[in-house]
Structure 1
């Protein structure tokens, strides 16, 4: 952006701010990439709640194989600064191009610094505008496949993860003799050039997050949310989050927070922006399934879920309140023993289990009492709990919910259930139910059931690859759509869901995009 254009826009901003009515509210939104959970579903939710939300052209956003355009996004954002009352933006997109590129880029430090400086320019263009930023602490996965990490991670990922876990433990409690020996062996095993590359990229990410924290401290940012992407109790991500936390002690919770998660952050920040704009502070009561409940530490996360849920509620602009006077009840389906298996495992058959039955009964009582009810289904990772969903179906609760979520990690699920649940009161019933239908088709039908069946019965017999569908995409699309329609007809026949389109947006089986063209009003 030229200096002349910047000065001109600044001058126009002064006039525009003086002429704009106080009640006007427009959110400018930049997601962390173009996946439906980050872009389409967030925008759909805000629009269903009656909010004017503007997102950039898809060509500027990063996808799986195409890099995003950080400088193009900054140009678009600065050009739209004058129409925005609030902006909700992903730092990963604006600094690196998208979430995946934050893990794989080779961007020079000075380029990242220049992009960080744009946050000051953005604030100067429209001083009255509220700026909500969400960023991630780079993940430390236990393995790497599918092209979302540097190529060497497929070979050395488990060893790199273990090195970082041992170093984290060393800082926290020290290492035992056999652990010190293990660490030395791993450091000999992984080539030094690979470790240097991995840690150098993380250092850039860490410094960028420090700068964002400073922007929160000096009031450039209204709110900063830092997600811990796919973390573990001991890992490099956990270590970095501890170090960053030490720099945020003076920031109150209404200015900054950090917790496990990534793909739900856009939904949470848009929800917070809407709640702040309408001066609402929704009160949320939390119910857990019997058993480990709030003490569950889910897969891919590093703290107990009770702590994570409270942090998500605060981040969305609400407060936890253990009272039946709460605006929303969040029913959380946790595993009785505190162990979150994968949704496609043999544990997720539709057999009787006492904990989900008890929670479904509690949910039915809440609904019968007239309480608005949201459900976060985190008993399994990467899909819904079949036994629990069957219980909700038997009780006729599926479309009596304000929101439902049961996808990917526990935090992803929690953020969506809270965000859509808080905003549901602003929606017409048909719009609320349409959002519910997408989640039921995606999280329950596809992720917990159809995905595994199509993989076993169609993809693999044809010699296909889970992470690269390529020429099999048309066949898999038809097969998946047919099975989703059959699932819907069996499990919620009162809402015929025949008119929808399905796509595999990232050329893999992991996620789908579901577009409902028509939805019945009752």
Structure 2
């Protein structure tokens, strides 16, 4: 994979786009992508389908048998779906946590790796008959904190600190260094039940074994590539240690088609964008502007890497392995990371009058501040920004934004799916996650189910308020070869809590 750095330059975007009512055309249009999703949440299912519709492709995933919060997936139904869909698929994306463990959450439990180990052998057998298909695997390195649905979660702080000391112990180059860390480990073991320590270490060991297996399949040509997300990670600890082990293993085995980056909820969207670019051979370059240059080397919460490095990896991943001749498409990205005057963004827009522009708001990963966004909306800047994201971590935010920018940079692809995607980002990333969820968090635990009657009342209110919010928005799109703003934004028919807890929201459009 060819890695492109962040390019700082200005460009003129050619306005040669068909009307949005025209069906998308090109090598991506009409393709069928079969997806075994990371979990059942909309960001890993419905959003991916919507993103594919921007480019005229289709994504199919199991409608029955997926996980639901604490309930793992029905393996027999997932397996049957894959076997049935494989013959007619153009591409296949398989999220291994769903297949092997039963879901993203189940992938945080060591016993799910052992209990379901046979599923990897079955997957290998199934895929061996389809080597001519485009197949990608998505895996995760578990988050640093233990799962909140286990008793061990009460010892999150202690286990996290233990894991960091254990990683330092494993990476120590001298006997003295290892003995020094061993002393602290023994002291810390006295504060945590032994079974919790054992299972915590076992989880990351089992995870490494699976990652090695996935890498071996990539090397053998069973799959075209493997993408590994770092789920809620840090710059130290056992997730980072697993990342280093996998990188070293791939280097030793000369495996070049394994890609590792921070994030989880954005990985499938990025893979979809990469698949589109692989088909067309079309590459891109990004002009990136940071609202605070001094913060680009800051490690944001849950990323484990400097912000600039996270952005570089996301952009590099979506580039085709063998770019076609010609100039790469040039895109402009503004990264808002802390309090600043809205005039900074307005000046940036004026400096890039003809560019395709995206705004990533990564400030929420550090502090809850809505003043900048309120000014953004008051100045009607949504009519001048072609892509926007502000997901729960900066890594996920950048990934979703880059995936969308890659989908809309081709012709015509400025259709109703694009408009729904953009409305969704404002409704969910900003309005719900920043305004409504913060309000509900004062009454409900993010990890606990809301009582049915209360959930119904909450969602009726969210539906009403969200539509009132969307009515104030003008969205940037392109029609008849010109950039235009549409108003009002697409409205929603209903809002719902897909896992019956306030942490995530789902919308159905009218």
TM > 0.5 fold call: yes
TM-score with structure 1 setting the length? 0.81
Structure 1 window deviating more from structure 2 (26-35 vs 248-257): it is: 248-257
**1:358 counterpart residue number:** 344
Residues 293 and 334, structure 1, Cα contact 8 Å, conserved in 2? yes
Distance 1:23 1:48 in 2: 9
Deviations 1:236-256 (A, max 9, x none): 111111111101126789622
**Partner-residue secondary structure (3-state), 2:300:** coil
Distance 2:215 2:133 in 1: 18
Matches within 5 A, 1:370-385: 370-381=354-365
Deviations 1:143-168 (A, max 9, x none): 753x2xxx222221211111001122
Matches within 5 A, 1:358-437: 358-366=344-352, 368=353, 370-381=354-365, 386-426=370-410, 427-437=413-423
Residues 89 and 133, structure 1, Cα contact 8 Å, conserved in 2? yes
Q: Does 1:98 align with 2:103?
A: yes
Q: Does 1:133 align with 2:117?
A: no
**2:16 counterpart residue number:** none
Structure 1 window deviating more from structure 2 (264-273 vs 173-182): it is: 173-182
Residues 500 and 515, structure 1, Cα contact 8 Å, conserved in 2? yes
Matches within 5 A, 1:169-318: 169-172=168-171, 182-249=184-251, 255-317=257-319
Deviations 1:226-285 (A, max 9, x none): 111111112111111111110112678962211111111111111212221233223333
Question: How much has 1:356 moved relative to structure 2?
Answer: 5.6
TM-score with structure 2 setting the length? 0.82
**1:505 counterpart residue number:** 498
Distance 2:108 2:84 in 1: 28
Q: Does 1:31 align with 2:12?
A: no
Distance 2:330 2:32 in 1: 25
Distance 2:493 2:382 in 1: 19
Distance 2:432 2:253 in 1: 41
**Partner-residue secondary structure (3-state), 1:401:** coil
The RMSD of aligned alpha carbons is 3.0
Question: How much has 1:195 moved relative to structure 2?
Answer: 1.6
Distance 1:383 1:468 in 2: 26
- Count of residues in correspondence between the two structures: 462
Residues 301 and 366, structure 2, Cα contact 8 Å, conserved in 1? no
Distance 1:499 1:93, change over 3 A: closer
Residues 36 and 513, structure 1, Cα contact 8 Å, conserved in 2? yes
Distance 1:97 1:152, change over 3 A: same
**Partner-residue secondary structure (3-state), 1:354:** coil
Distance 1:357 1:290, change over 3 A: farther
Distance 1:144 1:220, change over 3 A: closer
**2:3 counterpart residue number:** none
Q: Does 1:478 align with 2:472?
A: no
Residues 284 and 329, structure 1, Cα contact 8 Å, conserved in 2? yes
Deviations 1:175-211 (A, max 9, x none): 6999765533321111212222232233222111110
Distance 2:490 2:238 in 1: 44
Structure 1 window deviating more from structure 2 (120-129 vs 40-49): it is: 120-129
Distance 1:89 1:254 in 2: 19
Which of 320, 327, 330 is 1:327 aligned to?
330
**1:349 counterpart residue number:** none
Question: How much has 1:389 moved relative to structure 2?
Answer: 2.6
Residues 388 and 426, structure 2, Cα contact 8 Å, conserved in 1? yes
**1:83 counterpart residue number:** 88
Q: Unpaired segments of 5 or more residues in structure 2?
A: 1-26, 476-486
Distance 1:179 1:327, change over 3 A: same
Distance 1:403 1:118, change over 3 A: farther
Distance 1:108 1:97, change over 3 A: closer
**1:18 counterpart residue number:** none
Question: How much has 1:492 moved relative to structure 2?
Answer: 5.2
Distance 1:311 1:246, change over 3 A: same
Residues 389 and 397, structure 2, Cα contact 8 Å, conserved in 1? yes
**Partner-residue secondary structure (3-state), 2:296:** helix
**Partner-residue secondary structure (3-state), 2:42:** coil
Q: Does 1:468 align with 2:449?
A: yes
Question: How much has 1:121 moved relative to structure 2?
Answer: 2.9
Residues 360 and 389, structure 2, Cα contact 8 Å, conserved in 1? yes
Higher RCO (CA < 8 A, seq sep 6+)? 2
**Partner-residue secondary structure (3-state), 1:442:** helix
Question: How much has 1:402 moved relative to structure 2?
Answer: 3.0
Q: Unpaired segments of 5 or more residues in structure 1?
A: 1-20, 336-352, 518-522
Distance 2:273 2:256 in 1: 14
Question: How much has 1:490 moved relative to structure 2?
Answer: 4.7
Residues 290 and 358, structure 1, Cα contact 8 Å, conserved in 2? no
Distance 1:261 1:252 in 2: 24
Distance 1:394 1:215 in 2: 52
